[in-house]
Chains A and B, each alone.
Chain A
Amino acid sequence: MKAEHARRQNSRKSSPTLPGATPTLTKKDYESEQDVRWCPGCGDYSILAQTQRMLPEFGLPREKFVFISGIGCSSRFPYYMNTYGFHTIHGRVPTIATGIKIAHPELSVWVITGDGDALSIGGNHFIHLMRRNLDINVILFNNRIYGLTKGQYSPTSEQGKITKSSPMGSIDRPFNPINLALIAGATFVARSLDRDTKHLQRMIKAAFEHKGTSLIEVYQNCHIFNNGAFFQQTERKTKPEHTVFLEDGEPLIFGEKRDKGIRLHGFTPEVVSLTDGEHSPEDLIVHDPSREDPTLATILSRISEFPGLPHPIGIFRNIERPCYEDLLEQQLQEAKTWKNAGDLEALLSSGDTWVVE
């Protein structure tokens, strides 16, 4: 009985391999036996599938992955991953992930969060995670609504949003997660789409490969409470006019016929036609995510806020900077060379002592 119980939580064992050989894992090896209980059609399914699909490619043993989540629909994610997982409390995932990473730096730590979890109740922890730059990957499921509590406006909901808690329209200005992360000093910031599986896979891979905190904001559809929030960006018909894909070294060109581009007018991004005879690709912003100076990335992050401009999709910023846990380890190593390091007896007897015979 016990042995049966014992095996239930980790029942999907990898295919047996010879000792010393690297086991070849597949997507299936990363699926837990828990039934996935998101609403049929939810964008979360795609994010889960792309993650499970990518992990076998990362060359790490399965036990090195830890998925940690807060509270919300997306935060059920760890239960569906056959890795280590911890479903924690609302908004506090970055703090728990930080504790895990500093205690055990070789783990691949993934934070699963939503717009409410990361930007409302956990907003403070979110910005501090971004500035500290631990090697942690954050997937932020942005559906611009509170789903698990049945449909209230979220910190990314547009102004005027009518919900049960905002019957006359929300008067809050929304957060722009990409902009917020950049301003907080994040070293890797990307946006992807639940319906663009190939792009999402690329972003997950790039986040894994980036050493430092990586944020992927995923436009994710909640078809129960906020259906179509991103349809302009995700549906085949409208996507070309409403998205601009950021590619390293490429000018910002978009449109069904790739006939439009984005250039800077002062500090303001604007759309120009590439067929009017007046503009050419040389006039456009050429994307470089490795720029140390975040100014241009910050401007790009705000393009989605201009009416009529396409939403940038891809990696906004990807720079190298020392990781928190490495700096911490350096200090610990240096301290180990100090006099009496690790000598408890010397520590307890430090300071001014006297002996009573």
Chain B
Amino acid sequence: MRKPTQIIEKATILFAGDSGDGIQSVGAQMTQASALAGSAVSTFPDFPAEIRAPAGSLAGISGFQLQFASHDIHTPGDISDVLVAMNPAALKVNLPSLRPNGILIVNTDTFSSRNLKLAGYETNPVEDGSLAKFQVFPVELTRLTRLALEETELTQKQKDLCKNFFALGMIFWLYNRPEDYTLEWINHKFAKKPEFIEANTLALKAGQAYCEATEQFASSYEIKPAHFPPGKYRNITGNSATALGLVAASHQSGIPLIYGSYPITPATDILHELASYKHFGVTTMQVEDEIAAVGVAIGASYAGAMGVTGSSGPGLSLKSEAINLAVIAELPLIVCNVQRAGPSTGMPTKTEQSDLLQMLFGRNGESPVPVLAASRPSDCFETAYDACRIAMQYMTPVIFLSDGYIANSAEPWSIPDISELPEIDVHFYRDTETFAPYQRNPATLARPWVVPGTPGLEHRIGGLEKEDITGFVSYDPENHERMSRLRAEKVHRIARELPPTEIFGGTSGELLVIGWGGTHGVLRDSVENMQNEGFSVSHVHLRYLNPLPNDLGDILKRFDKVLVPELNLGQLLMIIRARYLVDAAGLNKIQGQPFHVFEVEAKIEEMCE
């Protein structure tokens, strides 16, 4: 007889192990299985910069946290209900994230004296009573997996590689997840190594059977499907959504996409993904360095393609000079920055929002560049699409900001109807009678986009200051001021067409929380929770950071206090204070980790006292 199930609303699970333990794989499987079962899901993969740090070491711990629920959720969860720790180091690193009385599954086979010492434990925590406030389930994961695979031809080492699927099987049982999807995935993934199809399938089933059989687990949990608006859904990470947004913009505008890039964490997946879209006419070039990557994109735009480059903080530092060339030459260019913890190499795999001021101001001269930031994984699609539209319609470089957290996190995405995507109306200039290189469109101030090869429009542009209209090199003092102001005005005019800023909560009140980028989910949850507690708090999340929306100043005036939470030391805060002369306060965290909901709630409470 099947053991009883309890119905719950949500759960947060954290898988943790060595970076070679297959943690990210099983995390992704649990995410997909949960989404297909109708749950709302939100994930947070957290991995080390080292590809294979020494086994058992604290530095090498890879984690994958996911929350799933029967209602709408915006974050991967503050604190975990279940921690699967594949070794003592994984336990040491992640135990603070487990809630009291939470379920702790540990692979006791790895708790050797050597591994305990590597993790900094003097005694075995599973035996010394230090884990008393949790429900501890010691499982001989390695031995049980070997047992399950006894009949296979695999070597012992190969068998041990399958233990992540044994652990996944246990979690599947615990949350009543269907295994079909994962079985199919295994078949596909190991199509060329059939022995691993059998082994991983056996391990997955053995994990489930173990939970059903052992007396350790009394009951399992069930989560009812969440209520989503009707539509077709898929899970998507921020980097995938970014790539698709770029392809969609190219497709809808009819302008081929050329992506120049140099591998860099956490932006590389955009390159990987785009490289597989050649059947959409997408050209990717992995070039010699970050500067070449942006140079290729600028050359492509000059020649009539949609030039895009993508990187992360240090790469953006290298691209600054070239972005400025696109500013003065007034060429479309899309620059994706998947932010990570800096300065310098910083913490490549950890998230941060500390490049905002660099993106706004980090170039020589008066250099206005539109800056857009995506707020969640699925929002990367729309924001990247809009970045391309603005770049081509205003003839300007545009910076698209994402961050390591939303780049790698996944959530369900309601697949958009192509016919409802905003129009991107691009025309190359061909008229030889009226042409002048810097003759502007009176509405957008965009200069004409002329593709070399167009008869009769031969002309020269470049990085030297240009004379208004003719585009000749000019050192005329008044012309330089006029051109500087025109370039600024062109970017400023983008604000005219922005939609009204959405306010979550009352349109006036005691406290306004303003955020941007990947903090959206945490801020939304925090504000919603505090509203439910009776606090007069509203939330505005900015996609457009340059130009800022025209209605933002009025909105700010309608609140007594303003809070700007950011994963930096107060960058948007500086802009808001300077631009609107309001005494806004910051909530700042710079640990390479997202905010927790409770941290934001505490600040809201403090400010509303």
Q: Chain B interface: which size bin? A: 35 or more
Given contacts A87-B464, A348-B416, contact A342 B281 (CB under 8 A): yes
Q: Please, which residues of chain B bring their CB within 8 A of the CB of A342?
A: 251, 279-281
Q: Whose C-beta in chain A lies nearest to the C-beta of B236? A: A351
Among the 9-residue stretches B61-69, B210-218, B453-461, B591-599, the one with 4 or more Cβ atoms under 8 Å from chain A is B453-461
Does A107 make an interface contact (CB < 8 A)? yes
Interchain CB contact under 8 A, B244 and A348: yes
Interchain CB contact under 8 A, A103 and B305: yes
Give Cα distance in the complex from A334 to B281, angstroms.
Answer: 10
Interchain CB contact under 8 A, A103 and B279: no
Contact indicator per residue, chain B 221-233, by CB within 8 Å of chain A (1) or not (0): 0000000111111
Query: Which of B228, B233, B462 is in CB contact (< 8 Å) with A88?
Result: B462
Interchain CB contact under 8 A, B233 and A353: yes
Give Cα distance in the complex from A95 to B260, angstroms.
Answer: 10
Give Cα distance in the complex from A336 to B436, angstroms.
Answer: 37
Interchain CB contact under 8 A, B260 and A9: no
Q: Please, which residues of chain B bring their CB within 8 A of the CB of A331?
A: 278
What is the minimal beta-carbon distance from B347 to any residue of chain A, in angstroms?
27
Residues of A109-138 contacting chain B, CB below 8 A: 124-125, 128
Query: Which of B247, B287, B415, B463 is in CB contact (< 8 Å) with A128?
Result: B287
Does A97 make an interface contact (CB < 8 A)? yes
Does B484 make an interface contact (CB < 8 A)? no
Contact indicator per residue, chain B 278-308, by CB within 8 Å of chain A (1) or not (0): 1111010101110111111111111111010
Query: Which of A10, A102, A107, A128 is in CB contact (< 8 Å) with B456?
Result: A10
Give Cα distance in the complex from A128 to B289, angstroms.
Answer: 10
Query: Which of A6, A64, A103, A128 is in CB contact (< 8 Å) with B439?
Result: A6
Given contacts A86-B462, A95-B296, A97-B299, contact A352 B456 (CB under 8 A): no
Interchain CB contact under 8 A, B321 and A89: yes
Give Cα distance in the complex from A78 to B452, angstroms.
Answer: 14
Give Cα distance in the complex from A49 to B54, angstroms.
Answer: 64
Q: Please, which residues of chain B bring their CB within 8 A of the CB of A22?
A: none
Most chain B beta-carbon contacts within 10 A, residue among A9, A79, A94, A99: A99
Query: Which of B278, B301, B471 is in CB contact (< 8 Å) with A332?
Result: B278
Give Cα distance in the complex from A104 to B258, angstroms.
Answer: 11
Interchain CB contact under 8 A, A103 and B472: no
Interchain CB contact under 8 A, B279 and A104: no
Does B556 make an interface contact (CB < 8 A)? no
What is the minimal beta-carbon distance from B433 to any residue of chain A, in angstroms?
7
Give Cα distance in the complex from A106 to B470, angstroms.
Answer: 27
Q: Please, which residues of chain A bring their CB within 8 A of the CB of B16?
A: none
Q: Please, which residues of chain B bring their CB within 8 A of the CB of A296?
A: none
Residues of A57-89 contacting chain B, CB below 8 A: 61-64, 66, 68, 71, 78-79, 81-89
Q: Please, which residues of chain A bring their CB within 8 A of the CB of B325?
A: 88-89
Interchain CB contact under 8 A, B462 and A78: yes
Residues of A1-60 contacting chain B, CB below 8 A: 2-3, 5-6, 8-10, 13, 32, 34
What is the minimal beta-carbon distance from B295 to any residue of chain A, in angstroms?
3
Q: Please, which residues of chain B bring their CB within 8 A of the CB of A95?
A: 260, 287, 291-296, 299
Contact indicator per residue, chain B 242-262, by CB within 8 Å of chain A (1) or not (0): 001001100110001010100
Q: Please, which residues of chain B bring their CB within 8 A of the CB of A68?
A: 299
Does A344 make an interface contact (CB < 8 A)? yes
Does A96 make an interface contact (CB < 8 A)? yes
Interchain CB contact under 8 A, A99 and B298: yes
Interchain CB contact under 8 A, A104 and B304: yes
Q: Please, which residues of chain B bring their CB within 8 A of the CB of A349?
A: 232, 234, 415
Most chain B beta-carbon contacts within 10 A, residue among A34, A97, A100, A128: A100
Interchain CB contact under 8 A, B300 and A100: yes
Q: Please, which residues of chain A bring their CB within 8 A of the CB of B581?
A: none
Q: Whose C-beta in chain A lies nearest to the C-beta of B284? A: A328
Q: Please, which residues of chain A bring their CB within 8 A of the CB of B585?
A: none
Interchain CB contact under 8 A, A64 and B233: no
Give Cα distance in the complex from A353 to B181, angstroms.
Answer: 11
Does B451 make an interface contact (CB < 8 A)? yes
Query: Which of A128, A332, A347 is in CB contact (< 8 Å) with B292?
Result: A128
Query: Which of A8, A86, A88, A102 is in CB contact (< 8 Å) with B283?
Result: A102
What is the minimal beta-carbon distance from B435 to any residue of chain A, in angstroms?
5
Q: Please, which residues of chain A bring their CB within 8 A of the CB of B418?
A: 344-345, 348
Give Cα distance in the complex from A81 to B459, angstroms.
Answer: 9
Query: Which of A87, A100, A350 is in CB contact (< 8 Å) with B461?
Result: A87
Does B235 make an interface contact (CB < 8 A)? yes
Query: Which of B247, B251, B433, B457 is in CB contact (< 8 Å) with A3?
Result: B433
Given contacts A86-B460, A88-B325, contact A103 B258 (CB under 8 A): yes
Query: Which of B231, B278, B279, B303 is in CB contact (< 8 Å) with A356?
Result: B231
What is the minimal beta-carbon distance from B387 to any residue of chain A, in angstroms?
18
Give Cα distance in the complex from A2 to B285, angstroms.
Answer: 40
Q: Whose C-beta in chain B lies nearest to the C-beta of A91? A: B291
Does B329 make an interface contact (CB < 8 A)? yes
Does B322 make an interface contact (CB < 8 A)? yes
Given contacts A78-B460, A344-B247, contact A100 B299 (CB under 8 A): yes
Q: Whose C-beta in chain A lies nearest to the C-beta of B288? A: A128
Interchain CB contact under 8 A, A99 and B300: yes
Q: Please, which residues of chain A bring their CB within 8 A of the CB of B301?
A: 99
Query: Which of B229, B247, B459 is in CB contact (< 8 Å) with A84?
Result: B459
Interface residues of A (CB under 8 A from B): 2-3, 5-6, 8-10, 13, 32, 34, 61-64, 66, 68, 71, 78-79, 81-89, 92, 94-104, 106-107, 124-125, 128, 328, 331-332, 334-336, 338, 340-342, 344-345, 347-357
Interface residues of B (CB under 8 A from A): 32, 35-36, 38, 181, 228-235, 244, 247-248, 251-252, 256, 258, 260, 277-281, 283, 285, 287-289, 291-305, 307, 321-322, 325, 329, 415-416, 418, 433-437, 439, 451-464, 469-473
A selection of 17 A-B contacts at a CB cut-off of 8 Å is A9-B471, A10-B459, A63-B452, A84-B452, A87-B464, A98-B296, A99-B298, A99-B300, A103-B256, A103-B299, A128-B288, A328-B283, A332-B278, A348-B415, A353-B232, A353-B234, A355-B231
